[in-house]
């Protein structure tokens, strides 16, 4: 029934999406593989992905550039909010939303409503993909891996067997881990990571182990305009390039390596190793500047907005109108987050060591714990009044 019908498959070249090509061909589809380049992949690896698609029998392989949309649609509001899921994970999975958007544009060009992805039925990615598709238009969703799980519990072994039968080689790392790499960072799951064991040495991708860190400390300056990173070491730079440079510099010092356990939307625990040296550097720098130029009430409310925004993005509601509403507030709250931040690392972690901005909320006549533009009598009266409710409670409740 699917004979000669085109279908767009979001394709990474990994084990799951490679299996999807074979499965969709068996159903009679003309498979168009779409590698949506969201950064983090070099030209050699992209060439390998294209060759892999052809070897699997894709009718045509498409390479779509989406690094800039990923920066504009995700990284900018991420920095505005300072959001991390459970205050740990900066939603490196968010390239999925841009991938879906780009793939559906290709489907429209090909005149098809058929779209496929390689998500399992056990994680959050299926929600991110499916909900995004439904939010963006009227398309038919195909998920060969999720469907395979109806037939067998040992999906990975079945995939490896089918790939071997097709004469397609599978990299050793792919047989051990599920790896996702993009402009935002690298995530790894599978094997001892899933088993809550110690991640193997081969899980170091961008963040180098301690023995490889450079001897000399590193300092970098990042310029911001209205909360957006716009320069590195005083050189104007577009967002994707700036993030790639930070990934390279900070990754060499082991900055940005984490282990995270999250609650999957369908009720499971998901454990990953993730590396995001550039995102860590940017978020630490932007927060240092934002908290120095915004008011106390703005900074207090920031966490409330961040938690809500993170929840929506993490659980698949990237195109939810409520998320756009939150981003309008975040854009406004970041309009004076303009200046330069110096970050420094000797390895393993990074700090914002200096902040400069014409909008710093700094009173030259008042320095914390040193001098003040008010009298001791005024300070004593303030302390008395702000604590009045607690003082009365202590008296009447004796």
What pLDDT does residue 2 have? 65
Task: Give per-residue pLDDT as tens, 67-104.
Answer: 999 999 999 999 999 999 999 999 999 999 999 999 99
Strands (E) located in the chain: 5-10, 29-37, 60-65, 114-116, 140-142, 178-182, 185-189, 218-225, 228-232, 235-236, 257-263, 269-275, 339-347, 349-356
Q: Does residue 7 contact residue 60 with C-beta atoms inside 8 Å?
A: no
- Between 388-396 and 376-386, two packed helices, what is the crossing angle to 10 degrees? 50
| Helix or strand run (H / E) with residue 101 | helix 95-110
Which residues, in sequence order, are CB contacts of 53 under 8 Å at separation 6+? 11, 13, 21, 33, 35, 61
What pLDDT does residue 175 have? 56
What pLDDT does residue 190 have? 87
CATH of domain 5-78+94-176: 3.40.50.620
What is the C-alpha to C-alpha distance for residues 189 and 195, in angstroms, rounded to an integer?
10
pTM, full prediction? 0.89
Task: Give per-residue pLDDT as tens, 276-299.
Answer: 999 999 999 999 999 999 999 999
On the question of pLDDT at 57 being above 90, the answer is yes
Quickly name the fold that domain 185-356 has: 3.90.1260
Task: Give per-residue pLDDT as tens, 211-233.
Answer: 999 999 999 999 999 999 999 99
On the question of pLDDT at 126 being above 80, the answer is yes
Task: Give per-residue pLDDT as tens, 25-48.
Answer: 989 999 999 999 998 788 999 999
Q: Where do the CATH 3.40.50.620 domains begin and end in the chain?
A: 5-78+94-176
The band of 172, judged by pLDDT with boundaries at 50, 70 and 90, is: low
Task: Give per-residue pLDDT as tens, 193-209.
Answer: 999 999 999 899 999 99
The band of 329, judged by pLDDT with boundaries at 50, 70 and 90, is: very high
On the question of pLDDT at 386 being above 70, the answer is yes
Report which of residues 125 and 235 the model is more confident about. 235
Q: Where do the CATH 3.90.1260.10 domains begin and end in the chain?
A: 185-356
Residue 341's SS3 state is strand
The band of 246, judged by pLDDT with boundaries at 50, 70 and 90, is: very high
């Amino acid at each position: 029934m699917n004979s000669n019908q085109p279908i767009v498959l979001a394709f990474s070249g990994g084990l799951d999406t490679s299996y999807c090509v074979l499965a969709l061909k068996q159903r009679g589809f003309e498979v168009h593989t779409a590698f949506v380049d969201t950064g983090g992949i070099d030209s050699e690896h992209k060439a390998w992905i294209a060759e892999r698609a052809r070897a699997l029998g894709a009718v045509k392989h498409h390479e779509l550039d989406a690094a800039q949309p990923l920066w504009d649609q995700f990284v900018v509001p991420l920095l505005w909010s300072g959001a991390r899921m459970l205050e740990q994970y900066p939603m490196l999975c968010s390239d999925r939303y841009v991938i879906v958007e780009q793939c559906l544009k290709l489907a429209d060009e090909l005149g098809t409503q058929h779209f496929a992805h390689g998500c399992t039925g056990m994680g959050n990615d299926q929600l991110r993909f499916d909900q995004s598709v439904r939010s963006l238009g009227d398309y038919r969703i195909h998920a060969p891996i999720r469907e395979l799980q109806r037939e067998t519990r040992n999906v990975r072994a079945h995939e490896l067997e089918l790939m071997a039968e097709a004469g397609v080689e599978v990299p050793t790392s792919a047989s051990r881990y599920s790896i996702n790499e993009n402009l935002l960072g690298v995530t790894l799951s599978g094997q001892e990571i899933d088993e809550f064991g110690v991640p193997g040495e081969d899980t170091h991708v961008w963040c180098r182990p301690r023995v490889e860190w450079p001897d000399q400390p590193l300092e970098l300056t990042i310029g911001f305009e209205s909360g957006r990173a716009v320069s590195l070491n005083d050189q104007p730079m577009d967002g994707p390039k700036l993030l790639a440079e930070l990934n390279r510099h900070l990754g060499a010092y082991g900055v940005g390596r984490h282990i995270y356990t999250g609650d999957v939307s369908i009720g499971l625990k998901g454990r990953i190793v993730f590396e995001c040296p550039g995102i860590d550097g940017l978020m630490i720098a932007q927060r240092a500047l934002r908290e120095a130029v915004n008011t106390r009430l703005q900074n207090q409310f920031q966490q409330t907005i961040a938690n809500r925004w993170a929840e929506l993005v993490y659980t698949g509601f990237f195109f939810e109108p409520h998320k756009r509403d939150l981003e309008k507030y975040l854009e406004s709250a970041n309009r004076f987050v303009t200046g330069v931040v110096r970050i420094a690392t000797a390895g393993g972690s990074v700090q914002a060591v200096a902040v400069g901005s014409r909008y710093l909320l700094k009173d030259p006549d008042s320095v914390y714990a040193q001098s003040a533009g008010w009298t001791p009598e005024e300070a004593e009266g303030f302390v008395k009044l702000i604590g009045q409710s607690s003082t009365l409670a202590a008296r009447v409740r004796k």
